[in-house]
Amino acid sequence: MLDQRVRDYLILIGHTWICTDCRQRLLAETDTMLIGHKLSEEERERVGELSEESYRTMMELSAATGLSMDDLRLAIDHPRSRLRHLGVYRRR
């Protein structure tokens, strides 16, 4: 299950399930799109191996990311996954 502070990996995967524009950018510019995200080495490797086919079904995305179906559903429904696009940061 997801903890109180949802890991960046879950938000990244949840958002790219919802937003095809960010998904295409992630697949095309993986290293650039991961800048600023706190991911483990395994998570970075899994993201680097994603393809458009990984997103055909939730089951395929679950297998490709190593997330359980429950965690994947929670990530997709999490407010931060819907909050803003990847690579968009607020100025301080």
pLDDT band at 88 (very low <50, low <70, confident <90, very high): low
Of the candidates 73, 78, 87, 79, the residue with the CA atom closest to the CA atom of residue 22: 87
Q: Residue 31 corresponds to which tokens in the numbers above?
A: 């290293």
pTM (two decimals): 0.83
For 3-68, where are the alpha helices, taking DSSP H only? Answer: 8-18, 20-28, 30-34, 41-49, 58-65
Confidence of residue 90 (pLDDT cuts 50, 70, 90): very low
Task: Give residue 5's pLDDT band: very low, low, confident or very high (50, 70, 90).
Answer: low
Delimit the domains of the chain by residue range: 8-82
Report phi then psi at 37, rounded to 5: -100, 135
pLDDT digits (tens, 9 = 90+) for 18-61: 999 999 999 999 998 898 889 999 999 999 999 999 999 999 99
